[in-house]
Amino acid sequence: MARRLLGRLAYGSRYDRVPWGQRVYVRPGERLMREAQWRYLISRAPVLPLAAYQQARPLGEIEEFLSCMMCGESRQQPLYEPTGGNGWRYHVVRCPSCGFLYRNPNVRPERLGDLYSTGYSNFLTGKYAANRQRRYDLTMRAFSPVFDEGKERRLLDFGSGVGLFLELAEQRGFDAYGVDLSPESVEQANERLSRARTYFGAPQDVPEIAAGGFDVITLWSVLAHLPRPLEDFERFRGLLAPGGVLLILTVNARSLLLKAYGAGWSGFTKNHLMFYSSRTVRTLLARTGFAGVAFAPHYGDTIEAGTTNLPAGLAARLRRNVDRSDGGNMMRVLAFADEEAIGRYGGGPLRVHRLRA
């Protein structure tokens, strides 16, 4: 309420018709103000030894305390306490060494299934499905030419859900496979798909997938759900063929929207465990044997699809502010397995950053 009032005082009603997710990127001066607000928060929030932090927090039955998985730092900087429907609530800390944001206490990997009760796949239909597929298309376009032509290249969609992406992949000619931890979703996906196939379980449990040799692996809104990201990424690296690439779409922990809305940020959803930025995702990739990475800024699906109601001047300002700040509210990442992959795709518009372990 106070935020709305401040906005009204500063900007009047001029931006009332701009959706919330776009407003912070188009109001003049707001980017600099939010970034200053963030720096102030970081400078003020206490930094606690893990033992002291643990004493101050209750530990749920399915939970465990963590140190930073990206750099090993054990000290904790408590930042946010997101809450939501049905009474879920958790604590988000920042690593004072590398800036990684994660839920602490976190969920024990063997109890992850408790987060995904049955019925999880039911909402993935209708308009939601159409919007998702548009998002996949826009992201593939942003990384053109990597996804332009499947040509029977081997593709693995990790966390394939009801098969919405695999459907697009098989249309483009990929030899496509999926894995998912929801048996209902796997069943629905296999009904939807004609050539592509999805399997229940982890990649190492499915012989067709454990064989590896993938040219492309995709993680659509999956990264933030992984409780042991380093182990998973070592496995992904091993499943990639020479010249292979891995695509990630995930919420961006350096989003201007997070800086503006704090605990109310859309990326703090019930089942998200860890929150990556361009910096911390580089650490993850470097530590698990990837050779390079490229980022595609996310201006929002309606802007990129050309269906936005924003006047052209404001849309241009939004793009400028996304470029100057954080790359947008979603982070789109293409990781290159080796020099061969960089050589194959890195010459065009994609700017590749080389990684060192």
Residue 95 or 314: the one with the smaller Cβ distance to Zn ion is 95
Name which of 197, 200, 205, 194 is nearest 155 in CA terms: 197
The interface region with Zn ion, picked from 90-98, 198-206, 233-241, 346-354 by CB under 5 A, is: 90-98
| By CB under 5 A, residue 71 contacts Zn ion | yes
Span near Zn ion by CB under 5 A; candidates 64-72, 178-186, 207-215, 291-299:
64-72
* 95 sits near Zn ion (criterion: CB under 5 A): yes
Supply the minimum distance, in Å, between the C-beta of residue 250 and Zn ion. Answer: 17
First to last CA, the chain: 46
**Nearer CB in complex with Zn ion: 260/274:** 274
| β-sheet with 274-275: strand ranges across | 77-80, 92-94, 101-103, 274-275
Assess 73 for contact with Zn ion (CB under 5 A): yes
Q: Of 99-107, 112-120, 196-204, 340-348, which segment contacts Zn ion by CB under 5 A?
A: 99-107
Residue with tokens 């995702």: 281
Q: Which candidate, 351, 321, 345, 354, places its Cα nearest to that of 25? A: 321
Report the residue number, 129 or 230, with the smaller CB distance to Zn ion.
230
Between 54 and 97, name the residue whose CB sits nearer to Zn ion: 97
98 is a site residue for Zn ion (CB under 5 A) = yes
Q: Are strands 101-103 and 274-275 parallel, antiparallel or unpaired?
A: antiparallel
CA distance 274 to 268: 9
330-336 β-sheet, strand order: 197-200, 175-180, 154-158, 214-220, 240-251, 330-336, 292-296, 353-354
Q: Is 181 exposed, middle or buried (0-12, 13-18, 19+ CB in 10 A)?
A: middle
Interface with Zn ion, residue 70, by CB under 5 A:
yes
| Total number of residues that touch Zn ion (CB under 5 A) | 8
One of 26, 48, 68, 142 touching Zn ion (CB under 5 A):
68
Q: Check binding of 100 to Zn ion (CB under 5 A).
A: yes
Query: What is d(CA 11, CA 211) in angstroms, rounded to the nearest whole number?
Result: 58
Nearest distance from C-beta of residue 253 to Zn ion, angstroms? 12
Residues that bind Zn ion (CB under 5 A): 68, 70-71, 73, 95, 97-98, 100
